[in-house]
Chain A
Amino acid sequence: MTHPASILRSRLLGALAFAAAATAAAPALAQDAYVIGVSGAMTGPAAATYAPAVDGLRIYLDGVNARGGINGRQVRLVIHDNQGEASRGAADAKKLLTQDNVLILLNASLSATYAPMVAEAKRAGVPVLFASAVCPKEVYPPADPLQFCTTAFAANHDSRATLSFVKQQSKEPVRLGLAAMAIPISRAEIDFAENLSKQMEMTPVDKAVIPPPTADYTPFATKLRDANPNWVYSWAPWVTQVRTLEGLRRLGWNGRYIAWAHLNAEDELARLKDGDFYVIGANAFFQDELPVHKEIRDAVAKAGSQYPPTQMAEGWIAGMVIEQILKQAGWPTNPQKVAAAMSDLKVDTKGLRGGPIEWTKDNHFRTRQYYRVYRWDPSASAIRLVQDWQAVDVK
Chain B
Amino acid sequence: MQLLVNIVVLAAIYALIACGYVLIYRASRVLNLAHGELMMLGAYLLLTTASLHAGHPLLAIAAALALAAMAGAFVYLALMRKMTGEAVLAAVLTTVALGILLRGVIVMLWSAQQQYPLQHLGFANPPIALPGGARISSAMAVLVATTAAVYLGLFAFLRLTRWGIRLRAAGQNPLLAAQRGIGLHGAYALAWGLSTFTGGVAGMLIAIDAGLDQTMVMIGLKAFPAALVGGLDSLAGALLGALVIAASEVLLIHYVDPLLADVVPFLVLIVMLAIRPWGLLGTREQLDRV
Contact = CB atoms under 8 A, between A and B. Distances in A.
B127 A252 contact: yes
| Most chain A CB atoms below 10 A, which of B112, B210, B250 | B112
Interface string A355-370: 0000000000000000
B119 A216 contact: no
A118 interface: no
A182 B218 CA distance: 15
Interface of A: 42-48, 51-52, 182, 208-220, 222-223, 238-239, 242-243, 246, 249-252, 264, 268, 271, 306-308, 311
B137 A239 contact: no
A213 B219 contact: yes
A209 to B, nearest CB: 5
B44 interface: no
A215 B111 contact: no
B253 A219 contact: yes
Contacts of B61: none
Q: Which 9 A-B pairs have the closest CB atoms?
A: A47-B112, A306-B111, A211-B262, A213-B215, A45-B215, A51-B112, A213-B218, A43-B107, A250-B127
A213 B217 CA distance: 9
6 contacts: A47-B214, A215-B223, A222-B2, A249-B127, A251-B2, A268-B114
B119 A182 contact: no
Contacts of A311: 113
A52 B219 CA distance: 23
Contact of A238 (B3, B114, B214): B114
A286 to B, nearest CB: 16
Given A43-B103, A251-B135, A219 B254 contact: yes
Given A217-B210, A219-B3, 19 more contacts: A44-B103, A45-B217, A47-B214, A211-B261, A213-B215, A213-B216, A213-B218, A213-B219, A215-B223, A216-B210, A219-B254, A220-B253, A220-B258, A239-B211, A250-B127, A250-B137, A251-B127, A306-B112, A307-B111
A242 B119 CA distance: 16
Nearest to A83: B103
B113 A264 contact: yes
A250 B261 CA distance: 20
The prevalent SS among residues of B at the interface is helix
Nearest to B129: A252
A45 B214 contact: yes
Contacts of A182: 259, 262
Interface residues of B, number: 42
A42 B13 contact: no
Contact of B113 (A208, A212, A306): A306
A216 B112 contact: no
B43 to A, nearest CB: 13
Nearest to B10: A216
B50 to A, nearest CB: 15
Contacts of B140: 216, 218
Contacts of A239: 114, 211, 213, 215
Contacts of B223: 215
B114 A48 contact: yes
Contacts of B261: 210-211, 214, 219-220
A223 B254 contact: yes
A209 B259 contact: yes
Contacts of A209: 258-259
B214 A48 contact: yes
A271 B6 CA distance: 25
B113 A218 contact: no
| Most chain B CB atoms below 10 A, which of A209, A212, A217, A219 | A219
